[in-house]
Amino acid sequence: MINYKTHPDWEKEVQKLTNGKGVEHIVEVVGGSSIAKSIDALASQGHIYVIGFLENMEANVNLFALLAKQARIQGINLGDHRAFEDFNKDLDQINIDPVIDTVYSFDQAKEAYEHQMEGAFGKIVIDFNK
């Protein structure tokens, strides 16, 4: 796991950890300038799945880097509840667990959003039952 706060050039760390190969799949939630970093971290013929744009809805993309890696970028919208359940079953099968930064109670929602704005590593969860 690579923390973007301790490794602001996380794409270089990905390349280092993979001996220059890069990774085959990236779930991109930041958008903006992060797309370029995702392309740099990608393996040849890798996939980037864009599901969010926390930084910016627009991005500058180095088309040469995209073409050289024969990368695929796919936007993903939210689906229905059944699709979400199917997605979670697939994640379980390939042993991918989300990184949870902090779990807040509903009464702490304001603190949760403040924490997110400060830059969390992983997901911020608001537990309605807590």
pLDDT in tens, 86-127: 988 888 888 877 788 999 998 898 898 888 878 778 888 888
Q: According to the model, what pLDDT value does residue 65 have?
A: 93
Residues 110 and 122 in one domain: yes
Tokens of 36: 């370029």
129 vs 111: CA distance, rounded Å: 17
Q: Which two tokens stand for residue 31?
A: 């958008």
What is the C-alpha to C-alpha distance for residues 122 and 108, in angstroms, rounded to an integer? Answer: 18
Say yes or no: 3 and 62 in one domain.
yes
Residue 77 sits in the same domain as residue 121: no
Is residue 36 a contact partner of residue 13, using CB atoms and an 8 Å limit? no
Paired sense of beta strands 123-127 and 100-105, if any:
parallel
- 24 lies in which domain range? 1-97
CATH of the domain at 19: 3.40.50.720
pTM of the entire structure?
Answer: 0.62
Which backbone phi and psi does 46 adopt, to 5 degrees?
Answer: -80, 175
Determine what percent of the chain is predicted with pLDDT higher than 90.
42
Nearest to 29 by CA among 127, 121, 125: 121
Per-residue model confidence as pLDDT tens digits over 64-80: 999 999 999 999 887 78
Residue 1 in this model has a pLDDT that exceeds 80: no
9-68, pLDDT tens digit by residue? 999 999 999 999 999 999 888 888 899 999 999 999 999 999 878 788 888 899 999 999
Q: Are residues 27 and 60 in the same domain?
A: yes
Please say whether the beta carbons of 48 and 37 come within 8 A.
Answer: no
Provide the domain count of the chain: 2
